[in-house]
Amino acid sequence: VVKFKTMLENKYKFQSVGQVLKDIIKIFKDKGIVNPEREAEILLSYSLEMSRSEIYLNSDKVLKDIEKTQLEKKIQKRIEKIPLQYITEHQEFMGMDFLIEKGVLIPRSETEILVEEVIKKLKNYKYSDNL
């Protein structure tokens, strides 16, 4: 298991939300995570229970040690290639939020397109009692 240098080991005692976001993006880039900026925003917003917009509005807020510790566990899971949806236990699909746990298939955007096409086809389908 590859570990990253934790935020608590970092030379800076106090870290702001904005700095932590930059750190996570760098970690994700270094580990080859696709879309590191987006994934860092989602992980941080989930961990701090803030919207992605609130992260930027509260970029000067200093994280508590407990927040850092919890966030580090989530970062470690992600760099171990555990899907983000399993870490956040959430995925939006067709405008609805779904609980995602281990063993549950993660809805993909391609599936959403397929479902939309099926719905279009079904709207044109005429129901008949005659078989």
113 φ, ψ (degrees, to nearest 5): -60, -45
Residues of the chain where predicted confidence (pLDDT) is lower than 50: 8, 11-12
> Looking at residue 129, what is its pLDDT?
66
125 φ, ψ (degrees, to nearest 5): -80, 130
> Looking at residue 54, what is its pLDDT?
96
CATH 1.10.8 correct for 17-83: yes
How far is residue 45's CA from residue 54's CA, in Å, rounded to a whole number?
8
In the chain, residues under CATH classification 1.10.8 are 17-83
> Looking at residue 13, what is its pLDDT?
53
| C-beta neighbour count of 32 within 10 angstroms | 9
How far is residue 31's CA from residue 78's CA, in Å, rounded to a whole number?
10
> Looking at residue 59, what is its pLDDT?
94
pTM of the model: 0.76
State how far Cα 127 lies from the chain centre. 41
What pLDDT digit, counting tens, does each position of 36-73 carry? 999 999 999 999 999 999 999 999 999 998 999 999 99
Partners of 14 in the β-ladder? none
How far is residue 129's CA from residue 131's CA, in Å, rounded to a whole number?
6
